[in-house]
Structure 1
């Protein structure tokens, strides 16, 4: 598959749309040291004992989609083989990466004969395969449906409405629509201690908190409500390193 010079991937479109000063700002946020972004642990649980795995993970830390997978991996105690892929420098267009993932997007995960992209699918896959219990992605059909609904909301509504505000001069309509989606998110978070109405962290929390951190870094949160309601619900502890 040849690599086009046109901006065909989500990452290339992001690079084209996001003003340079915003990209510099996002890169300046050391997400690896943000305990409110990358360190979910349960209040009474000891730090996870990491299990060395032969799972390759292609990622770019400014991407909330990549960080949500890192959150899930950390919660599971998985030590991933990290392969940083700078999409702003076009590293996802290298022939060897395109051969691995024709969509040439990050995150991309390779676990034996399984190759996955799309962060939400990766999070649920890791939770389903490697969790010692089903707390991150419960088998209960009602709870799982609530989690899936939040993942679809994030993918189909929340993130696209944020993306529409990414310009030097966003329209008032795009800002209003994004703030409307944030209001809906606040309503969802009011159903219980955690996003899906559970008393424990699920993959829905990993996905949402990673995105909210990007909203904050980009200066798009109108106040502290969304960050406080969601961030404080997660019992974040311990500094985190970039080695998982």
Structure 2
């Protein structure tokens, strides 16, 4: 996988750390923003928004750090034939924290929806797609339903992106 990055980018660094921690080898492609590498026609074909990070996995392009992380993470995270017990415990701990955090709150960061809700929505949607029991966390479950309704483009994007991750998980686990 080719990973187009600029060292000064925090989102690029986040993707690099996740990839390294889960053992995914990225073919690092330095992208000089100062030299305009991100504005060249070949880069714009991969990412019309001309931003880094950008991932090219044999012609499948992703260009937002959270989406790239979700793409890299699900099969490694969930394990080969079942939920990896160590990673599952980490996920449960994160959901317990989020459930407590959402106690008495409609949204993650205040009284109205923010970009934090968008970012978390993709992660919760992916976990839900591969069968993680969100209903075990009533505040998260209620927030998830609310957020899916509030984000008008959720269903369309869910079909286009999150289902890719579910299909990867299904392929890795032999489900179908």
Shorter-chain TM band = 0.3 to 0.5
Q: Point out which structure has higher relative CO (alpha carbons under 8 A, 6+ apart).
A: 1
More helix by share: 2
TM-score by length of 2: 0.47
